[in-house]
Amino acid sequence: MGDFDKILNNCRVLDVRTGRVYNADIAIKGGIIAAVGENLGEGEDVGNMFALPGFIDAHVHIESSQLIPSRFAQAAVPCGTTLVVADPHEIANVCGMDGVDFMIKDAANTPLEVKMMMPSCVPASPAESSGAVLDAAAVKEALARKDIFGLGEMMNYPGVTGGDEDVLAKLKAARDAGKPIDGHFPMGSGLELAAYAAEGISSDHECNDAKEACEKIAAGMDVFIRQGSAGKQLLDILPAVNKENISHFSLCTDDCHAADILEYGHINHVVEQAVAAGMSAADAVRLATLNPAEHYKLNCGAIEAGRQADIIFVPDLVHFKPVMVFKRGEMVAVKGRPLFPVAAADCSKVKNTLHMPPITKEKLKLKGASLTWAMKIKAGSLVKEAVKYKEGLPKLCVAERHKNTGRVGVCAISGYPVRGGAVAISISHDSHNVVCAGDNDKDMCLAMNSLMPVGGGVCAVKDGKVAHLIPLPVAGLMADCAAEELAEKLTAAEEFCKRELNLSSVTDPVMTLSFLALTVIPHVSLTDRGLFDCDKFCFIQP
């Protein structure tokens, strides 16, 4: 007793269990909180700042930041994020287990604790054309590894409720390994939801409103409230949280743009928004600390003796901007600046991933169901609808980029009023084929073809000229550069799209495009094979 590695004096400790704030010292030994109390000895005076547990992102795809994990950590840790539960299914859909292994190795080079899930749906559904296939045997083998934390979001909910053998074998492998299973069942309800939860799937981050959240909690699942760059459900779900059920809610970003992290913050910004919406600071912090820690049975998430010394210090309980961030008792960020260098892992196996022929105008003709139906999107929502086709709408296309097939799916799009050019990206959840929207075939071809020499990324074209080209050479998804450098380029491209391509009404034009090919979010999507009915799980017929 008393032989501590470090003592932090003059703290205002937030007890996330009771909501009480009390004055205390915090003693640390071997990266663990050894004691919390008065007069523990002389150490570092933190100036009466609030001491909070390190923030946890309960569900995130690091790849969606467009940063490799080590660079993501340099952006997120100064925001107070000390642990994330990450599902690398973006890179897995491109590179298979080589992608998963890269993410694990690169994340290990930083103080950010990354609990890496094994992607469960590669591809996300049989309707998608991915660069790899990870079947039940591959999943079972991976779940036996110590560096795989659990089974990532089970997006193939029709496969679960319909008894698909491969899907059920993956779920059984996770249960047999004693590892958590994350869920993904938008609008899941009734007997189908019961069947889904009965397979041991313990969480869901796809709720759209309070009613859906309450039904999923009643079914035995915990709800991760998503507030990221594209999906923003915080204000819709918060009314469901009360003192009886609060332990079943956590916060997550799911997908968070690098520029948004730098401008607004990471999970700390979600906590700030919850408080601004009327939730008590103690409850909001609990959703980002204790609750995800207890859901995943992690020894962190509270400032208590015996817990990991992941602690952040903030001057107030309104803005949650950390002055100091400690991970396992070591200071890793101060005043928004990371105190650790980056040493990126070898990424040679996850580069040069665009394998596709040049796109020509002939590939962009509307045909089949696209002559009858179009896709409609709504700002701030990931849900997409099928509407009757009408002339004058811009085009959306998805080009297969993994196996050189030359397949291109095309439809008209409403709600993405691009004019005078085109936007193309190699980020297209979850199979990450090349997606492009434009109002003329020439600019669309130029935008897509410009991505090939740089290994993928983002391209904006106006009037036959490339205005912005941002390489993302790691799997066509990520860059190995400072977050500030990438964010500056992406922000400039976003502003250009809004100002010059008539996309001011679209929330985040680049990130929005990336969700339009996903077949596991209602109600319709576009794949390289054509329009797909996400509710009936079949391709739409003419």
Model confidence over 241-250: pLDDT tens digits? 999 999 999 9
pLDDT reading at 26 higher than 60 = yes
Residue 410: what pLDDT? 98
pLDDT digits (tens, 9 = 90+) for 404-441: 999 999 999 999 999 999 999 999 988 999 999 999 99
Instruction: Specify if 318 maps to a domain.
Output: no
Residues 220 and 286 in one domain: yes
Residues 99 and 170 in one domain: yes
Residues 244 and 362 in one domain: no
- Predicted confidence band at 542 (pLDDT cuts at 50, 70, 90)? confident
- Rounded CA gap, 481 and 483, in Å? 6
- Rounded CA gap, 329 and 396, in Å? 50
Which residues lie below 8 Å from residue 242, measured CB to CB, with a gap of 6+? none
Residues 389 and 534 in one domain: yes
Whole-angstrom CA distances from 496 to 139, 180, 456, 484 are 42, 42, 19, 18
**Residue finishing a domain among 240, 273, 301:** 301
**Residue finishing a domain among 281, 301, 321:** 301
Instruction: Determine the structural domain holding residue 201 and report its residue range.
Output: 53-301
Give the long-range contacts of residues 172-176, CB within 8 A, separation 24 or more.
173/136, 173/139, 173/140, 173/143, 174/118, 174/139, 174/143, 174/150, 174/200, 175/200
Whole-angstrom CA distances from 102 to 4, 68, 91, 222 are 37, 9, 9, 30
* Better pLDDT: 73 or 255: 73
pLDDT reading at 354 higher than 60 = yes
Number of domains comprising the chain = 2
SS (HEC) of 474-494:
ECCCEECCCHHHHHHHHHHHH
Mean pLDDT of 46-57: 99
Instruction: Specify if 43 maps to a domain.
Output: no
Residues 285 and 393 in one domain: no
Residue 381: what pLDDT? 79
Residues 518 and 446 in one domain: yes
pLDDT reading at 159 higher than 60 = yes
- Predicted confidence band at 541 (pLDDT cuts at 50, 70, 90)? confident
Residues 68 and 204 in one domain: yes
pLDDT digits (tens, 9 = 90+) for 201-239: 999 999 999 999 999 999 999 999 999 987 899 999 999
Residues 169 and 243 in one domain: yes
- Rounded CA gap, 87 and 85, in Å? 7
Residue 231: what pLDDT? 83
Instruction: Specify if 72 maps to a domain.
Output: yes
304: burial class by Cβ within 10 Å (0-12, 13-18, 19+)?
middle
pLDDT digits (tens, 9 = 90+) for 89-147: 999 999 999 999 999 999 998 999 999 999 999 998 888 999 999 999 999 999 999 99
Residues 289 and 154 in one domain: yes
Instruction: Specify if 116 maps to a domain.
Output: yes
Residues 378 and 294 in one domain: no
The alpha helices in 306-460, defined as continuous H runs, are 441-451
Residues 282 and 365 in one domain: no
pLDDT digits (tens, 9 = 90+) for 373-389: 999 998 877 789 999 99
Q: Is 404 helix (H, G, I), strand (E, B) or coil?
A: coil
- Rounded CA gap, 458 and 79, in Å? 26
Output the domain CATH number for residue 71: 3.20.20.140
Instruction: Specify if 34 maps to a domain.
Output: no
Instruction: Specify if 130 maps to a domain.
Output: yes
Please state the pTM of the whole predicted model: 0.93
Instruction: Specify if 234 maps to a domain.
Output: yes
Which residues lie below 8 Å from residue 68, measured CB to CB, with a gap of 6+? 62, 106, 344, 347, 474, 478, 479, 480
Mean pLDDT of 268-282: 99
Which residues lie below 8 Å from residue 156, measured CB to CB, with a gap of 6+? 120, 121, 124, 125, 164, 167, 520
Give the long-range contacts of residues 386-389, CB within 8 A, separation 24 or more.
386/523, 386/524, 386/531, 386/533, 386/540, 387/414
Residue 511: what pLDDT? 80
- Predicted confidence band at 521 (pLDDT cuts at 50, 70, 90)? confident
Residue 2: what pLDDT? 66
Instruction: Specify if 490 maps to a domain.
Output: yes
